[in-house]
Structures are given as structure tokens and as C-alpha cells.
């Protein structure tokens, strides 16, 4: 990890935004894509610099790291996302941080537990249902076959959770076709859930975000492409 100078970060950010633009207009000129910076591999100074360059949304994989970053950068009006697996013993800590969006709600059990604790604290949380679209054992998330049903179940049984859409991690593969399939599967689930209020389809990271956008993603989570 190193502190990058402003011009270096500006060049990286410009390149990512240009790539997002190019992919976005292949879908539609009205297709808007949000960029969330994955901050876990970078120094606090780089986050401040990206803020100066106009970037507002940042994501962390761990609750502890999220807490440290939020406190250290408290003076900046940043939007924070939780994008990693949430352990049940960290639920209260996360609720107290009030993230803008929790992207990795990966089971009904977690939803029930989260709902219970949100109720006790008399608050709500915006979440995305994580889908394991490539059915990979190494990844968490609900299966694509069950996703629509589980989304509706959580919506009905967990009133403290505001489900905003879905999230997936592209297939872990060198084969573009397999990655594309995992994105297309998730996007078709997202389309079915739009009638249930889904507005966010979070797909795509540094290695595959352009493909994800072409498959309909409207939120990308990018780290290494910004900090190279």
C-alpha cells in the first residue's frame, strides 16, 4: 500500500470513469452506473484525495476496517458501503455505523438475525441480497434458483431491512463466457424483482466491470484499478 499523488489518482479515476461511460452507452444513454471505491487495499490519504477528485462512495469488506475508516474520515461527507461477508457477532457494530448500503446480505438466517437487532435498536438498514450466481462453493450468497423467493420472503418477514436490489461476484474464471453468464443470470433475477422495488444491480469489480455493465449492472465495486 502506498500513498499515490493526486495526478496519478486522477488519471486512474478518469480511466475507470471513461471505461464505465463506454460500457454504459452500449446499454442505453439513460443507463446510470454508480462507482463504489473498494478501499480495503489503500491508505486513508488516497481516500481523501479521491474525495477531492469527486468520488463519494466507498466500500469496506470488514466491519472493523469500516469503523476505523469512517471515524478517521468523519469530517468528509462520504457514503459508506459494507461489501464483505457479515459475521453474526458483528451485526450490532455494523448497525451502529449506519452504512448507506449493506451489499452482502447472503442468507435468510442473516436477514432474520439482522432484522431482530435492527428492531431492538429501532432503526432500518438498506441491503442488497447477495446471489451466488456461478454456484461456487467458495462464495457466499443465495442460489440463483431461490433468489426471487428468498428476496420476497425477506421483504415480507424482515420489515427493518430495506431491500434495494441484488449483488453478485462474477464467476471466478478466465473464461469470459462463464463470467458473463453469472452476470446475465443475476441481471435477469434483478429484472424480476424490479416490481418488488429493486433498483440496484451491483455487479462488477476491477477485472470485469465493463462486462458487468454491458450485462446491466448499475453499481460497480472497484479497488485495484483505481490504486494501481
Domain boundaries, the chain: 6-222
Confidence of residue 126 (pLDDT cuts 50, 70, 90): very high
Kindly list the distances between the CA atom of residue 100 and the CA atoms of 66, 97, 126, 210, 214, in Å, as whole numbers in the listed order. Answer: 12, 9, 7, 24, 25
What are the tens digits of pLDDT across the range 40-60? Answer: 879 999 999 999 999 999 999
Residue pair 154/128 in contact by the 8 Å Cβ criterion: no
Given 3.20.20.10, 3.30.70.260, 3.40.50.300, 1.20.1200.10, which CATH number is that of 6-222? 3.20.20.10
- The helix or strand, by DSSP H or E, that contains position 114, with its residue range, turns out to be helix 108-120
Q: Which residue has the cell 451485526?
A: 91
CB half-sphere exposure, 189, CA atoms < 13 A: 31
Give this prediction's pTM. 0.97
Q: Which residue has the cell 470513469?
A: 17
Strands 200-202 and 79-82: unpaired
pLDDT of residue 41: 77
Burial class (CB in 10 A: 0-12, 13-18, 19+), 221: buried
Kindly list the distances between the CA atom of residue 139 and the CA atoms of 104, 151, 170, 215, in Å, as whole numbers in the listed order. Answer: 11, 18, 10, 21
Confidence of residue 39 (pLDDT cuts 50, 70, 90): very high
Confidence of residue 220 (pLDDT cuts 50, 70, 90): very high
Dist CA 161 CA 76 (whole Å): 26
Amino acid at each position: 500500500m502506498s500513498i499515490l499523488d493526486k495526478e496519478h489518482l486522477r488519471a486512474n479515476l478518469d480511466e475507470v470513469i471513461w471505461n464505465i461511460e463506454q460500457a454504459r452507452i452500449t446499454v442505453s444513454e439513460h443507463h446510470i452506473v454508480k462507482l463504489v471505491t473498494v478501499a480495503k487495499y489503500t491508505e486513508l490519504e488516497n481516500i481523501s484525495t479521491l474525495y477531492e477528485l469527486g468520488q463519494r462512495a466507498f466500500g469496506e469488506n470488514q466491519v472493523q476496517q469500516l469503523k476505523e475508516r469512517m471515524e478517521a474520515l468523519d469530517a468528509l461527507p462520504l457514503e459508506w458501503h459494507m461489501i464483505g461477508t457479515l459475521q453474526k457477532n458483528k451485526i450490532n457494530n455494523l448497525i451502529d455505523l449506519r452504512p448507506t448500503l449493506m451489499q452482502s446480505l447472503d442468507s435468510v438466517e442473516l436477514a432474520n438475525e439482522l432484522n431482530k437487532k435492527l428492531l431492538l435498536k429501532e432503526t432500518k438498514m438498506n441491503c442488497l441480497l447477495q446471489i451466488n450466481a456461478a454456484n461456487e462453493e467458495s462464495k457466499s450468497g443465495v442460489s440463483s434458483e431461490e433468489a426471487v423467493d428468498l428476496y420476497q420472503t425477506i421483504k415480507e418477514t424482515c420489515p427493518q431491512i430495506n431491500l434495494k436490489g441484488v449483488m453478485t461476484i462474477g464467476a471466478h474464471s478466465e473464461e469470459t463466457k462463464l463470467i458473463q453468464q453469472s452476470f446475465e443470470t443475476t441481471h435477469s433475477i434483478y429484472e424480476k424483482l424490479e416490481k418488488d422495488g429493486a433498483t440496484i444491480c451491483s455487479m462488477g469489480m476491477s477485472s470485469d466491470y465493463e462486462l458487468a455493465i454491458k450485462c446491466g449492472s448499475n453499481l460497480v465495486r472497484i479497488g485495484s484499478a483505481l490504486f494501481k
